[in-house]
């Protein structure tokens, strides 16, 4: 069901974007890993106490004594979610809405390629792009940790943590992809899909600022990505990961099905 020609075309058109975001993640990921030092715990704790709302908003709620806890707090609380989200928003718009808006989809659908094949190919391309980011940050952090702090990283738990991170990517990309399949004008996917994902991130940040705002965490799927629960091996955290995967897969399925049957104004 995949069009190799279309997939290669998307690869050629978007590889620079992938490389740019890999470079950004490399910079932040390696820098944060290098910052780890249990001896600095008291200094970080003092900074957190002086700016509690800022630290809490970005998921830096506690001073970690282990490397995996440190990475989960300082990378997986916001950085490894926010930048990949920008990537997802950009690429999801480029692979579907842009073609429809510019009329390129008319030419594409005039070929023997079925609509379902087009939609499925674009979905697979976006999923693979997200998978590349998730695998890259996993390898990056493991490699950097092995060089700077050999033996300090619990690799098994860390891999599970990144499986959960990919679940977040799948969920967000499913929202954006489904949105691009529902609307012909590219401004609507941005207004609905992209904005919804950004709102989810903001809600997550707000819910972490104070106990009064804690109830808002149930309004965002990011709550399902429980980094501390994953590290300690809690069953509920694993269930949350499965739910994220389920949401993403369902939204991709809805997008593909709707695009295959919709009446395109092209």
Q: Give the domain ranges of the chain.
A: 4-261
pTM listed for this prediction: 0.86
pLDDT tens, 216-232?
Answer: 788 899 999 999 999 99
* 115-118 long-range Cβ contacts below 8 angstroms, 24+ apart: 115/259, 115/260, 116/1, 116/256, 116/260, 117/1, 117/2, 117/3, 118/3, 118/6, 118/259
pLDDT value at residue 109: 54
Q: What is the pLDDT of residues 164-199, one digit of tens each?
A: 999 999 999 999 999 888 876 666 666 788 889 999
Tell me, what DSSP letter sits at residue 38? G
């Amino acid at each position: 069901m995949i069009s190799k020609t279309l997939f290669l075309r998307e690869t050629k058109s978007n590889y620079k974007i992938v490389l740019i975001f890999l470079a950004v993640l490399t910079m932040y990921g390696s820098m944060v890993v290098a910052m780890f030092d249990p001896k600095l715990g008291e200094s970080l704790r003092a900074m957190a106490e002086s700016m509690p709302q800022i630290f809490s908003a970005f998921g830096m709620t506690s001073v970690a004594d282990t490397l995996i806890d440190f990475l989960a707090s300082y990378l997986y609380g916001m950085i490894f979610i926010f930048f990949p989200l920008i990537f997802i928003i950009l690429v999801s718009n480029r692979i579907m809405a842009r073609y429809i808006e510019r009329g390129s989809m008319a030419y594409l659908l005039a070929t023997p390629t079925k609509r379902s094949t087009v939609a499925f190919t674009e979905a697979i391309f976006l999923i693979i792009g997200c998978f590349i980011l998730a695998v890259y940050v996993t390898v990056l952090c493991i490699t950097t940790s092995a060089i700077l702090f050999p033996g300090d990283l619990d690799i098994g738990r860390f891999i599970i943590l990144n499986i959960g991170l990919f679940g977040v990517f799948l969920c967000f990309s499913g929202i954006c992809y489904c949105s691009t399949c529902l609307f012909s004008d590219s401004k609507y996917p941005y207004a609905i899909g992209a904005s919804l994902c950004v709102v989810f991130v903001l809600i997550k940040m707000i819910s972490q600022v104070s106990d009064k705002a804690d109830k808002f965490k149930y309004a965002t799927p990011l709550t399902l990505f429980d980094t501390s629960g994953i590290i300690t091996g809690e069953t509920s955290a694993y269930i949350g990961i499965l739910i994220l995967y389920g949401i993403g897969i369902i939204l991709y399925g809805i997008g593909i099905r709707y695009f295959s049957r919709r009446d395109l104004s092209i």
